[in-house]
Amino acid sequence: MKDLSKYTYIELYDMLHHVNEFKYPEKIKALQAEIEHRKEIGEVPTELVPKPDWSAFRFRKKKETEINPTHPTL
């Protein structure tokens, strides 16, 4: 197997999703181990899709009449 340390983490993720896991389970394990190693040393973000920070947005709160109208409109 090639030296995985020479690949970028994006290339590693690409390989991880394109290698047949049933035919080459040892390659999958090696790829996962290399990705985990890079997460530990901080080269790869622990979350590929960061959670959004909604604190910068101001959402309009519904008025009490919009939530529980006293008289339904016809």
pLDDT in tens, the chain (74 residues): 678 889 988 898 899 889 998 999 999 999 999 988 988 888 776 666 567 777 777 766 666 655 566 666 55
Contacts of 61 (CB under 8 A, 6+ apart): none
Domain that includes residue 44, residue range = 1-48
Whole-model pTM over 0.75: no
Would you say residue 62 lies in a domain?
A: no
How many domains does the chain contain in total? Answer: 1
Would you say residue 39 lies in a domain?
A: yes
Would you say residue 53 lies in a domain?
A: no
Would you say residue 20 lies in a domain?
A: yes
* Rounded Cα gap, residues 44 and 21, in angstroms: 22
Would you say residue 11 lies in a domain?
A: yes
